Amino acid sequence: MSSSKDRFTRRHLIEAGTEKHTLAREKEKKEHHKSNILYSIIGAFIVLLFAAIFLYNSTWPSRHVTAVTINGEKYTVAQLNYYYSTAYESFYQNYYTYFSYGYGPFKTDESLAHQSYSDTMSWRDYFIQSAVDNMKQIQMLCDEANAAGFKMPDDEQTKYEDACNQIETGWSNYNYSNLDQFLNVYYGKGVTMDLVKQEMYRTDLASAYSSSIYNSYKYTTDAQNTYYTKNANDLDNISYAYYYLDKSTYTSDTVTADQATKLVSDDAGKITSAINGKDADAFNAYLSKNFKGASATSTSNAGKSLSSTYSAWLLDASRKAGDAASFESDGSQYVVMFLGRDNNDYPLVNFRHILINAVDKDGDGKYSDTEVQTSYDTAEKYYKEWLAGTADEDSFASMAGLYSDDTGSKTTGGLYEKVYKGQMVDVVNNWLFADGRKPGDSTVVTYNEGGSYTGTHVLYFVGYSDMTYAQYLADTAMRSNDYQTWSDNAMKSYTTATSSLFLCGKTH
Residues 6+ apart with CB under 8 A from 500: 61, 65, 66, 67, 77
Q: Average pLDDT in the 69-89 region?
A: 95
Domain 237-342 of CATH type 3.10.50: yes
Query: Which letter, b or e, does each residue of 228-252 get, where b requires 16 or more Cβ atoms within 10 Å of its Cβ?
Result: beebbbebbbbbbbbbebebeebbe
56 vs 464: CA distance, rounded Å: 62
pLDDT at 468 over 50: yes
pLDDT at 260 over 70: yes
399 vs 415: CA distance, rounded Å: 12
Percent residues over pLDDT 90 in the chain: 79
Secondary structure of residue 151 in the 3-state scheme: coil
Domain 347-472 of CATH type 3.10.50.40: yes
H or E stretch covering 115: none
The one-character DSSP state at 171 is G
Q: Average pLDDT in the 265-276 region?
A: 98
Contact 438, 391 (CB under 8 A): no
Q: Average pLDDT in the 188-199 region?
A: 94
**In the predicted model, what is the mean pLDDT of the chain?**
90
Contact 403, 356 (CB under 8 A): yes
Detail the DSSP E strand segments found in 29-97.
Answer: 66-70, 73-76
How high is the pLDDT of residue 285?
Answer: 97
How high is the pLDDT of residue 46?
Answer: 45
Residue boundaries of the structural domains of the chain: 2-57, 67-216, 237-342, 347-472
Q: Average pLDDT in the 459-481 region?
A: 98
Secondary structure of residue 16 in the 3-state scheme: helix
Contact 275, 324 (CB under 8 A): yes
pLDDT at 17 over 80: no
Report pLDDT digits (tens) over 415-458.
Answer: 999 999 999 999 999 999 999 999 999 999 999 876 667 899 99
Report pLDDT digits (tens) over 319-340.
Answer: 999 999 999 999 999 999 999 9
214 vs 391: CA distance, rounded Å: 37
How high is the pLDDT of residue 89?
Answer: 94
Instruction: Point out which residues pair with 336 in neighbouring strands.
Output: 242, 325
Higher confidence at residue 291 or residue 507? 291
pLDDT-derived band at 235, boundaries 50, 70, 90: very high
pLDDT at 69 over 80: yes
The CA-atom distances, in angstroms, between 233 and each of 175, 222, 240, 301, 318 are: 54, 19, 15, 11, 13
pTM: predicted TM-score of the whole model, two decimal places: 0.79
Query: Which letter, b or e, does each residue of 358-385 get, where b requires 16 or more Cβ atoms within 10 Å of its Cβ?
Result: beeeeeeeebeeebbbbbbebbbebbee
Do the domains 347-472 and 237-342 match in fold? yes
Residues 6+ apart with CB under 8 A from 114: 122
Return the ∠ at Cα 45 (arms to 40 and 47), rounded to 5°. Answer: 95
Higher confidence at residue 239 or residue 173? 239
Q: Average pLDDT in the 57-86 region?
A: 90
Chain centre to alpha carbon of residue 41 = 52
Secondary structure of residue 187 in the 3-state scheme: coil
Percent residues over pLDDT 70 in the chain: 88
